[in-house]
């Protein structure tokens, strides 16, 4: 096989078959699972999809090799390497590589991405990535004539059109499952969806849409602390009836109100955007901290996370900034967000203050590293990044410990606010999305909303108020967009975009 030159078309066909065999088990598992059972059309349609995939990849690979044999090898090597990593995540965490997942990946920082490293990932990389690349580079490719090139491309294109016509009656099924099918087809899942992500980001971020000016209706000194949770799912908070006591401190705290809420998305960037915007929109409107800062409200942002829209304020502190100021033994955990919190509030000369604390406490897969050892209340805990290797009990125990630590952090903020007696204050805790912990063999988050399980979008919306006279509406289910209008209400900020129905607070 390696001792003589091989025709470009033959090499392209071999690589297409290899690509289909190595990387598309999840694709065809999905097809067989979701096709109507008991029908004679199931097998022919599945075979047509297989033939379509082989032909489409042959068309692309043949074109690449014909344009440049070396360039084609470089690109296919890149595809095989990324395919191997993508299939690892699909097999291990049950993800689908759609546009939202590509946004998640492209916005992941180095520290977070390193937490996914495992021996299993190395095995996938070597067997499904490095080995096919070595095979490819040992093959010598012989260029074909221009006439042969056009004939074979034409035949491949004709076969694709024929397969399309043959399966026209299945277009509704394909359209219904297009995101999942596209997210499992290699290398189309990440190539097409990466391009779509950047195109849509460019469209959304051309210019932040400015909101109408706002004014303060009173001179009362008031503070809102908005804590944005990470991957906190509602069902694991004992405040909502969970059988394990994950909220021992908040349960004993006066004026704490837990509301049920659903997130707008299952990944961080979209979830945080929804928490900070005044309405559900694909456009980038002026977000809450920017809007209030422009309208003379003191805004303080402290974060150990990432993924928020552009924040235009003076007092923004990242994890790196906070580490320079932290001198306690918990600087490696989200407690670092409380560094100089009271001092920063007291240093302000303004009556209206918004503090945003963006946490990372419950982000997987290394849940056991997200809290100090003293908060390992539930044992045994999962310590592997390959969550499917852990028992569900140990996985949930590790995750529940992050909720216990979250309870402690919120309690600490409340205790600090209680000492600021000159201010009327409130704390809002809202998560960006939920988390799957092995239910239906799914892990973490990021599935498209229309197929996401409830564990990935049912979130807590916890409120504390300092004043016994502050009344809250008896809402049964909130959205992340309630935050914007509730903050304006509490701070006494009026604007033409304020929606009274979206505030959680009663008029006084």
Tell me, yes or no, whether 199 and 260 share the same domain: no
For residue 381, give every residue at least 6 positions away whose Cβ sits within 8 Å of its Cβ, in sequence order, or none.
367, 368, 394, 397, 398, 401
pLDDT of the residue at 40 = 47
Tell me, yes or no, whether 190 and 226 share the same domain: no
Q: Is residue 370 part of a domain?
A: no
Tell me, yes or no, whether 162 and 280 share the same domain: no
- Please state at what angle helix 69-93 crosses helix 188-204, rounded to 10 degrees: 90
End position of a domain, from candidates 204, 239, 262: 204
CA–CA distance, 356 with 78 (Å, rounded to integer): 40
End position of a domain, from candidates 145, 178, 204: 204
pLDDT tens column, 300-342:
999 999 888 889 999 999 999 999 988 877 888 999 999 999 9
CA–CA distance, 491 with 505 (Å, rounded to integer): 11
**Which of 235, 234, 190, 17 has its CA nearest to residue 95?**
190
Tell me, yes or no, whether 164 and 259 share the same domain: no
Q: Is residue 323 part of a domain?
A: yes
Q: Is residue 52 part of a domain?
A: yes
Tell me, yes or no, whether 295 and 420 share the same domain: yes
Long-range contacts of 388-392 (CB under 8 A, 24+ apart): 388/92, 388/438, 388/441, 388/443, 392/437, 392/438
Residues with pLDDT less than 50, the chain:
38-40
CA atoms within a 13 Å half-sphere pointing along the CA-CB vector of 170: 19
Q: Is residue 303 part of a domain?
A: yes
Tell me, yes or no, whether 101 and 176 share the same domain: yes
For residue 54, give every residue at least 6 positions away whose Cβ sits within 8 Å of its Cβ, in sequence order, or none.
13, 16, 17, 20
Tell me, yes or no, whether 243 and 325 share the same domain: yes
Q: Is residue 239 part of a domain?
A: yes
Q: Is residue 375 part of a domain?
A: no
Q: Helix, strand or coil for residue 257?
A: strand
Q: Which CATH number is 474's domain given? A: 3.40.720.10
**Contact status, residue 360 vs residue 431, Cβ threshold 8 Å:** no
**Which of 504, 502, 499 has its CA nearest to residue 258?**
504
361 to each of 17, 113, 304, 368, how far by Cα in Å?
43, 15, 9, 10
CA–CA distance, 126 with 84 (Å, rounded to integer): 8
| 488 bridge partner residues | none
**Which of 491, 379, 388 has its CA nearest to residue 441?**
388
**Contact status, residue 240 vs residue 232, Cβ threshold 8 Å:** no
CA–CA distance, 441 with 446 (Å, rounded to integer): 14
Length of the chain: 508
Q: Is residue 87 part of a domain?
A: yes
Q: Is residue 217 part of a domain?
A: no
376 to each of 231, 307, 330, 353, 399, how far by Cα in Å?
18, 28, 15, 34, 10
Tell me, yes or no, whether 173 and 257 share the same domain: no
For residue 45, give every residue at least 6 positions away whose Cβ sits within 8 Å of its Cβ, in sequence order, or none.
35, 167, 170
pLDDT of the residue at 442 = 85
End position of a domain, from candidates 155, 175, 204: 204
- 240: which DSSP letter? G
What is the domain range of residue 33? Answer: 6-204
Tell me, yes or no, whether 197 and 78 share the same domain: yes
Q: Helix, strand or coil for residue 471?
A: coil
Tell me, yes or no, whether 196 and 240 share the same domain: no
**Contact status, residue 427 vs residue 261, Cβ threshold 8 Å:** no
pLDDT of the residue at 92 = 83
Tell me, yes or no, whether 196 and 295 share the same domain: no
Q: Helix, strand or coil for residue 162?
A: helix
Domain count, the chain: 2
Tell me, yes or no, whether 312 and 348 share the same domain: yes
DSSP string spanning 216-236? ES----EEEEEEEESS--GGG
């Amino acid at each position: 096989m390696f001792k003589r030159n091989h025709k470009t078309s033959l090499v392209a066909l071999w690589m297409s078959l290899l690509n289909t065999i190595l990387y598309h088990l999840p694709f065809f598992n999905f097809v067989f699972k979701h096709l109507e059972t008991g029908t004679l059309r199931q097998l022919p349609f599945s075979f047509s999809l297989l033939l379509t995939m082989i032909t489409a990849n042959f068309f692309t690979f043949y074109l690449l090799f014909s344009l440049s044999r070396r360039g084609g090898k470089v690109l296919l090597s890149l595809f095989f390497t990324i395919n191997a990593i993508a299939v690892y995540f699909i097999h291990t965490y049950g993800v689908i590589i759609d546009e939202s997942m590509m946004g998640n990946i492209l916005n992941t920082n180095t520290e977070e991405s390193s937490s996914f490293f495992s021996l299993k990932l190395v095995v996938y990389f070597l067997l499904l990535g490095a080995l096919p690349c070595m095979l490819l580079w040992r093959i010598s490719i012989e260029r074909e004539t221009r006439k042969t090139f056009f004939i074979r491309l034409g035949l491949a294109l004709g076969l694709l059109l024929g397969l399309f016509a043959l399966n026209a009656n299945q277009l509704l099924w394909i359209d219904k499952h297009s995101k999942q099918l596209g997210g499992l087809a290699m290398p189309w899942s990440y190539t097409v969806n990466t391009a779509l992500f950047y195109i849509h980001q460019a469209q959304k971020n051309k210019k932040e849409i400015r909101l109408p000016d706002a004014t303060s209706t009173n001179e009362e000194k008031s503070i809102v602390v908005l804590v944005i949770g990470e991957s906190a799912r509602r069902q694991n908070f004992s405040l909502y009836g969970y059988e394990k006591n994950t909220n021992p401190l908040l349960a004993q705290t006066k004026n704490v109100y837990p509301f049920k809420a659903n997130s707008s998305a299952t990944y961080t960037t979209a979830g945080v955007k929804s928490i900070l915007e005044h309405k559900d929109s694909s456009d980038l409107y002026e977000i809450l901290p920017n809007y209030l800062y422009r309208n003379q409200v003191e805004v303080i942002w402290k974060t150990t996370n990432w993924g928020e829209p552009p924040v235009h304020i003076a007092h923004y502190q990242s994890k790196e900034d906070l580490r320079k100021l932290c001198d306690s033994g918990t600087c490696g955990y989200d407690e670092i967000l409380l560094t100089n919190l009271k001092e920063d509030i007291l240093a302000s000369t303004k009556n209206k203050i918004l503090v945003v604390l963006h946490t990372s406490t419950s982000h997987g897969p290394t849940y056991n590293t997200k809290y100090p050892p003293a908060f390992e209340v539930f044992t045994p805990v999962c310590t592997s990044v390959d969550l499917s290797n852990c028992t569900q009990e140990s996985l949930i125990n590790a995750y529940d410990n992050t909720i216990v630590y979250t309870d402690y952090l919120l309690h600490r903020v409340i205790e600090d606010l209680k000492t600021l007696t000159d201010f009327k204050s409130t704390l809002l805790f809202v998560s960006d999305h939920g988390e799957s912990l092995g239910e239906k063999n799914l892990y973490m988050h990021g599935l498209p909303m229309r197929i996401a399980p409830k564990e990935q979008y049912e979130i807590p919306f916890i409120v504390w108020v300092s004043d016994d006279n502050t009344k809250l509406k008896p809402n049964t289910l909130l959205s992340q967009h309630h935050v914007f209008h509730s903050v304006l209400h509490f701070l006494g900020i009026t604007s033409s975009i304020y929606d009274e129905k979206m505030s959680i607070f009663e008029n006084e």
